[in-house]
Amino acid sequence: MTGYSIGTNSDEASREIIIGYDNIENDGQIDIEKVIADTENQGVVDNFLMIYLNKEKIIDTNQNLDKPDVHISVVSPKQSTSLIDSILWFKNEGAVIAIRSGESWDRVDYFEINKSDANYIKEQIEY
């Protein structure tokens, strides 16, 4: 009898959400405070991805790239690839997201999300 086994190693995450904050004492250093892996909480990872998929592009923003509220990255550990590098500023009406669109932070696209989505992110990252 011949057969095929198709599957993945369920112990290894395929997506991780990495949460970091600027280190107050060391300029340019980001301290990783939390990692949410799809092996631990698939629903949270999926919700983050849906929030990022449904964001609305904005043109004019006065955000200081050096002073975000939080750094959020989505990575694929299996592929050793960063999928999304972003920084967020929380506002009363939601949040502004800057996503790196090039090799460095010299090229950035800005987006906004609504209050409900911003509150969900705050809750998950314990902001």
Residue-wise pLDDT for 27-46, tens only, equals 889 999 999 999 999 999 99
CATH number for the domain that contains residue 91: 2.60.40
Q: How many domains in the chain?
A: 1
Strand partners, 88: 70, 97
Position 24 in a domain: yes
Rounded-to-integer distance, Cα 97 and Cα 90, Å: 9
Q: Which domain holds residue 70?
A: 16-125
- pTM comes to 0.87
**Per-residue pLDDT for 8 more than 60?**
no
- Six-digit token pair at 62? 């006065």
Position 2 in a domain: no
Position 4 in a domain: no
92-125 burial, b at 16+ Cβ within 10 Å, e below that, comes to: eebbbbbbbeeeeeeebebbbbeeebbebbeebb
pLDDT level of residue 102 (50, 70, 90 thresholds): confident
Position 84 in a domain: yes
Position 75 in a domain: yes
